[in-house]
Each structure stands twice: as structure tokens, then as C-alpha cells.
């Protein structure tokens, strides 16, 4: 995927003008920066498969970060969208630094293990109403992308963000059955949109209201 110099420059300006927290989304730089707690829900983009450390994945990772950033904004200011960068040098995102020094696969793997997520079914988008470091997992949803091509992940996240806005989900907290049903409805709309690759995607929802798993193109 080709990123123009303009888009990278714009991304740099946004990153540099943005305070570390509290706000949504929340890119975390370095392995010691803690996930903030002053939110009502959290989504984590988890890359647990070391395949993403290959050099040719670099531009794909930056593009995915852009889209996940937009997805995090769509859910609303009380929701934190968490992305784990390994580097503490933000300028490294705009040079030739290899993915292995950019993205923190090890930290993602910690949360994949905590939530019982298989690396082979990733990348994953985990949404939870409890802080990810709490002992109790809380109500949660996992989007399993099953090795989907980066361009298709970008499309999927864009369509989900559209549906979140259309359904009004960004105006609610994920603390009611109605909110989780809206999230399910948003995903089902995208799953039914006829994309040829959608059958590789799975959505699992595990809440006190209901538990289910659906597949795209079902």
C-alpha cells in the first residue's frame, strides 16, 4: 500500500499536536506506557502474529493505524482506542524503521493470551467495558480478522465506523443490552454487504445480556 508524503506529513502533525492522554484514541508509545483508566470502554487492536513484523508490512501497519484511529473516534470520546507501538520515538513512524521495532507484538500477545484469542485468527479488535488489566474481563466483543488482507481490514473498519455513526452507538455507553444489540446490528449490516472476503471474519460477543458468535457471509 502506498502512502503519499502528504498523508504521512499530515499524520505527523496530528500525532505531534496530540497530548498523550486522556483522549480517544490512545496510541501507546513504548512497552511501559500504561493503558489509561479514565474511560468507560476500551478497544484494542491486537497484532499477535509475528508475520506482521516482516519489512514489507510496514506501510500496511501505518495505514491500519490510520483507520483504527478513525474507528476509535467514531465510537465517541468516552471510548479509548488502544494501539501498541514498541518504539518510544514517534518520529520512527515516518522513516524506514522496520515493523519489528515499531509494533509491540509481545504486548499484544499478552492480551491475546488473557482473553483466549488465537494468533492465527488475528489481527483482533477487542472491545471491553472493563479496563484490560483488570482481573474480571467485563462485557466484551472480539472481531477476529483471520489474516485478512490489510486493504480489506481498512475497508471493514471504515464500514463499521460508518455503521456506528448511523446507529447512534457513539452516543451511548456499552452498558446496556440495547447498546450491544446496536453493535451487533452494525456488524451484521457490514457482514451482509456482499464483500467477497467477509466470510473470513468472525464476531464474538460475550456480555451479561447475551453471548454469541457470527461469521461474515453466514
Range of the domain at 183: 5-215
- How many whole angstroms separate alpha carbon 134 and alpha carbon 17? 31
Tell me how many domains the chain contains.
1
Q: Interhelix angle for 150-167 vs 58-75, to 10°? A: 10
pTM for this predicted structure: 0.82
Rg (C-alpha) for the chain, rounded Å, is: 16
Distance of CA 5 to the CA centre of its chain: 24
- How many whole angstroms separate alpha carbon 134 and alpha carbon 109? 16
Task: Say what the pLDDT of residue 210 is.
Answer: 96
Tens digit of pLDDT at every position of the chain (218 positions): 333 332 333 233 223 333 333 345 566 666 678 899 988 889 899 998 877 777 887 888 888 887 887 787 777 778 888 888 887 777 766 677 777 777 888 899 999 999 999 988 999 999 999 999 999 888 999 999 998 888 898 899 889 888 888 887 766 778 889 999 999 999 999 998 888 899 999 999 999 999 999 998 66
Residue 184 φ then ψ, to 5° = -60, -45
Helix (H) or strand (E) holding 3: none
Amino acid at each position: 500500500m502506498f502512502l503519499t508524503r502528504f498523508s504521512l506529513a499530515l499524520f505527523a502533525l496530528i500525532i505531534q499536536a496530540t497530548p498523550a492522554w486522556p483522549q480517544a484514541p490512545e496510541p501507546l508509545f513504548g512497552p511501559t506506557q500504561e493503558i489509561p483508566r479514565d474511560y468507560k470502554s476500551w478497544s484494542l487492536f491486537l497484532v499477535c502474529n509475528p508475520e506482521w513484523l516482516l519489512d514489507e508490512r510496514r506501510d500496511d501497519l501505518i495505514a491500519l493505524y490510520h483507520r483504527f484511529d478513525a474507528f476509535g473516534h467514531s465510537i465517541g470520546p468516552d471510548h479509548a482506542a488502544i494501539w501498541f507501538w514498541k518504539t518510544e520515538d514517534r518520529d520512527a513512524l515516518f522513516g524506514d524503521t522496520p515493523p519489528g521495532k515499531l509494533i509491540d507484538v509481545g504486548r499484544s500477545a499478552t492480551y491475546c493470551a488473557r482473553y483466549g484469542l488465537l494468533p492465527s485468527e488475528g489481527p483482533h479488535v477487542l472491545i471491553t467495558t472493563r479496563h484490560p488489566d483488570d482481573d474480571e474481563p467485563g462485557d466484551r466483543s472480539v472481531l477476529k480478522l483471520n489474516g485478512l488482507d490489510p486493504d480489506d481490514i481498512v475497508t471493514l473498519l471504515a464500514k463499521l465506523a460508518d455503521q456506528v455513526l448511523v446507529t447512534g452507538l457513539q452516543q451511548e455507553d456499552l452498558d446496556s443490552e440495547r447498546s450491544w444489540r446496536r453493535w451487533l446490528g452494525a456488524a451484521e449490516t457490514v457482514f451482509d454487504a456482499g464483500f467477497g472476503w467477509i466470510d473470513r471474519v468472525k464476531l464474538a460477543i460475550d456480555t451479561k445480556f447475551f453471548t454469541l458468535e457470527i461469521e461474515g457471509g453466514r
